[in-house]
Amino acid sequence: MNTVSRTLIATAAGMALLGVSACSGNESGESTGNPAPPPQAKAITSFDPCTFFAPEELTSLGLSTQSEDGGVVEQEPGCQWQGEEKILTLLKNADQTVESYETSGNWDSYTKKSIAGRSGAVAVETGATGQGGCTVLVNAGGGVAVYGVDGLMRDSVDACGEAEKVANQTASRLPE
């Protein structure tokens, strides 16, 4: 790189920094001298639901240790494990919390309760009452972990009981 190029790059970088510092004032337009702290990454974003359960946990629940993609929508990635009677799903969502899910979802029932000492809820989606499926939501790492149990036959399992049991046994390991 020649001297002219280095000088132009250094000048451009300096101008960019000057422009950024000029924009960091308070509401009255005065510079506070303290740059805004960078936004903190949510711990839930680096959490991998697909590696969360130990193989022994899965087999004790009557589930395969082989996970499959369980995310239906992009903002809720995760995995599912199938057994003879049920499917267990664990998803994450960095944009929602237990509180925001209550108002943003369509629920036949939504009961807030403590799950392993965390804010949580046991919920049944609209139209799913009596169909063998249940969701347990737990606040974790600035977002929410979503446990789901679906019975392969309508009466094969107590889906809410199973989902709540799994969440209570494992939610303490979720990101803070």
pLDDT in tens, 64-117: 999 999 988 889 999 999 999 999 999 999 999 999 999 987 899 999 999 999
pLDDT of residue 154: 78
In this prediction, residue 33 has a pLDDT band, given cuts at 50, 70 and 90, of low
Could you give phi then psi for residue 120, rounded to 5 degrees? -150, 180
Q: How many helices (H) does the chain have, and how many strands (E)?
A: 5, 7
Residue 49 has pLDDT above 50, yes or no: yes
Residue 28 has pLDDT above 70, yes or no: no
pLDDT digits (tens, 9 = 90+) for 113-132: 999 999 999 999 999 998 99
Residue 25 has pLDDT above 60, yes or no: no
Residue 3 has pLDDT above 60, yes or no: no
pLDDT of residue 44: 97
pLDDT of residue 24: 39
* Eight-state DSSP code of residue 41: P
Could you give phi then psi for residue 23, rounded to 5 degrees? -90, 0
pLDDT of residue 73: 87
How much is the pTM?
0.76
Distance of alpha carbon 94 from alpha carbon 39, whole angstroms: 14
Residue 26 has pLDDT above 50, yes or no: no
